[in-house]
Structure 1
Amino acid sequence: MALILRFVDKDGFIRERFFGLVHVKDTTYSTLRDGIFKVLSHHELVIQNIRGQGYDSASNMRGEWNGLQALICKECPYAYYIHYFVHRLQLALVTTSSEVSIVHQFFNNLTSIINTNTSSSKRNDELKDTQAIDVARKLANNEIESRRGLNQIGTLKQARDTHWGYSISNLIKMFDATYKVLENLSTEGNYHQRGDADFALNSLMSFDFILHLMKDIMEITEVLSQALQQKSQDILSAMDLVSSTKKLIAKMREVRWEDLLKKVKLFCEEHKIDIPDLNARYVGRRG
């Protein structure tokens, strides 16, 4: 369990410091409370002086009757509980994005592709070996640069709510290796593995898999995302960043769309992904 201490110093300034790591045998509220109190007592900090506590929304932390925050409030009545701010921002982003069905479907498919490729150490090793062969081939054909630090062999990042950008970038870099591992699994695995691999492969090789679009959006929103996670928040600067980010996304829609489409078409041609006839008549689905 990680402890962060937020306090007012003798000059009246608010400070926030990493306080320490505590080993806990389980995550029950009583064990967590004892761990926190033990650390504070060790540093001769008076428990009754706690004036606030912040956790995520897990039931064992925020439970109104039996959660950690309720247990501490019984001994420290002024230790008001607040759902910690950065996590609330992340949840707002996740919830808002999930309201867009295409985005929600994209991340479901992304998770399926990554999990199918990384669910065992054997597949991880196969992915790295395939990537090494692919990098060596591209270097021999002068398709990629060979500067120091480039082309390092890595693995796919799990598509967690706070690591979307990394997951997308890694998949683009390792697209060929990912495809080959899925293709092998779809023919050589057991019937469960073949089914999962087929589904992931169909998602990966679909023109509707908006990989590059999401990568460009993540690059635009990265500065705002990092700013919102700073220890000290300047609300006016944050509002300016929100405004400028919205303008950049609008500019992407109005000006950069054709460039994005060209990039996607080149990527599809390189990886033999079928490109639909974009001049064909659009037929809306019922509802």
Structure 2
Amino acid sequence: MGSIGSSHHEAMEKWHLLRNLATQIERVFVKRTAKEVEHNRFRLKATIKGVRLLANQGQAFRGHDESESSLNDGNFKQVRKSYERMASDDDRVILQNSPRNAKYISLSIQKQLLNILGNRVRQMIREEVDDAKFCILVNVADKEQMFIILRFVDRHSFIQERFLKIVSVSDTTSLTLKLEIVKVLSMFNLQVENMRGQGYDRASNMSGIWNGLHALFLEDCPYAYYLHCFAHRLQLALNGAAKGVHDTYRFFSTLLLVVNFMDSSAKRKGALKAAREDEILNLIALGNLQTDIIFLIILALC
């Protein structure tokens, strides 16, 4: 009723718009939000694939120079760029036009994803252990990091060794190490009472009869027998045998000095490589070098 600008005509337009659900602000907002969620999930999946690839291969994530002008800004960003190049045109636009707050490539995001993947692997190790008895192998590095390894017999009666976790410790006293080990075992519902063996080195904080780490665990579980680490025992035996033979000890001591002297300078390493190449050429010219091993020597020098 009335002209186009009449009150009745405006009321009819508003009524038609109200009946059209697709034009309502709530529907428009929900539709836009759902699309953004879909794009964010796609970007996050691309990041997860890159993290899984590098973690599975044991490669470094970050590069020396990660600026925009860098030709090689680290393995993670290079993998992400490779994923962009292989994606379709629409997916490439989604990855390249990511907002700054939804790129999912920051260092904190990488660490969070690595932590999630690590927890999933540790949970799989826990399921593999099941209710079996287990042993722990522990080593403490110079940077006060403790490495925990589980040794157990799986459901197929095979002996398995699984690296469980690296734990940073404030100090390397026996009590601190025990509390951290118990904390890690409790995280995965591994009872200390099921421990049947301990493997450490012969340091006093580990193997001390009264206050060593193995003695503290024996108080909670008398069946957790302690064994000196076989690899460390072999190393001590070889060192002791070498020191007992003067010529052998002198040879390895001199060899250590030579290696340290050469590795400390790139110029010395280059001169040694050039001298070795000249020596090989002379041996070939004199016929004193078999031709079937020349290729192996060249590979070793490259």
Q: Could you say whether these structures have the same fold, taking a TM-score greater than 0.5 normalized by the shorter chain as the test?
A: no
TM-score normalised by the shorter chain: which range applies?
0.3 to 0.5
Task: Report the structure, 1 or 2, having the larger strand content.
Answer: 2
Tell me the TM-score normalised to structure 1 length.
0.44
Q: Which structure's relative contact order is higher, taking Cα pairs within 8 Å and 6+ residues apart?
A: 1
